[in-house]
Chains A and B, each alone.
Chain A
């Protein structure tokens, strides 16, 4: 029975002496499930391939870039995120109920899941470790400005900060403001400015001079 050796992850970010125990246990479970015919090897490989390579924040960047250039799409996006995003071919798991949140000069949105790690996979891929970890989960709802400082960001004192705790199946995607100096840019070029963190609400898009 073939094992998924080709998908052994880069373990540089894992911690501690429990690493080898986890490797052994996951391999053991995978072997048993395959031997019992409960799972199919090819399906496992496809799942990993999908979220490592195919679905990621580039999807969301496309959505944002289109909202920046296309007023009708923008309106639709904020009225019915699922449908508008679906029209670009993105949806499905953790993207069945999408809500787009509009950042404005007086309003900044930030998304968290205090209870676990709910995240709009369909447009952003799988969440980063910091999003799923206790520091962000515990502080985003209590001290969002402190969290933004951890990301090197300081907003004006009178900017309203809306924190959205994703406690249901709704998944939130922040639509950051379009950077200045991008008049006439194509959607593709604009998409390059849209960072993952800007769509969570812990960052801003890049500015034109960041792109060289």
Chain B
């Protein structure tokens, strides 16, 4: 979606401000929000692409003014409510008021190390062949889905070069919409700064994105 998250090339945010000796978490609630998101994801059964969509699917003015973990937490609440796992009135009183729905799996302490170590690899077997090879010129499609996509606006419609054929990976546009993994060939596509930003751009800069085949057209 063309939401508040798609900010590559947007102006006005000011300088990057690194914090010296920054702690991993800035408050207790951030720690809990982080852990709850990971753990509830197991119980809730949503995939990472659904999580990302839930985060970016905030009104842009809220997305741009909320802190990182506030966005995570708002998305967590939304996904739990969507699946009727918790309700607003339960959150308001901080107590379960209705019986839990059965869930197929929950994350136990004993599982944590193993689950984290395994992660969620997205490469999938396929019998199809990639449409493009390294060195091919491609054009990023002009597309504007209102649902989840990982093709940022700043590259859409632009000409780039296939840097690398990565492999066949879960396709987020489908996966986030609950339409299945629908794995597609994934490429690193490199764009000249001038192509993206115009004749005045820094000639020493190139930018790449990782783009799935449905995002690309032969040039």
Contact = CB atoms under 8 A, between A and B. Distances in A.
Interface string B52-73: 0000000011000000000000
A184 B138 CA distance: 62
A142 interface: yes
A191 to B, nearest CB: 38
B144 A134 contact: no
Contacts of A142: 2, 144
- Chain B, interface size category, equals under 10
Interface residues of A, number: 2
B64 to A, nearest CB: 12
A142 B2 CA distance: 11
A205 B42 CA distance: 55
A134 B61 CA distance: 9
A20 B180 CA distance: 52
Interface string A128-168: 00000010000000100000000000000000000000000
Contacts of B60: 134
B193 to A, nearest CB: 24
A169 to B, nearest CB: 23
Contacts of B144: 142
Interface in B63-89: none
A142 B61 CA distance: 19
B8 to A, nearest CB: 18
B59 to A, nearest CB: 9
Interface string A82-114: 000000000000000000000000000000000
Interface string A40-69: 000000000000000000000000000000
Interface string B129-145: 00000000000000010
A134 B60 CA distance: 10
A142 B60 CA distance: 16
A154 B116 CA distance: 52
Contacts of B2: 142
Nearest to A143: B146
B57 to A, nearest CB: 15
B56 to A, nearest CB: 15
Interface of B: 2, 60-61, 144
Interface of A: 134, 142
4 contacts: A134-B60, A134-B61, A142-B2, A142-B144
In the complex, the 4 A-B pairs of residues with the closest C-beta atoms, listed nearest first: A142-B144, A134-B61, A134-B60, A142-B2
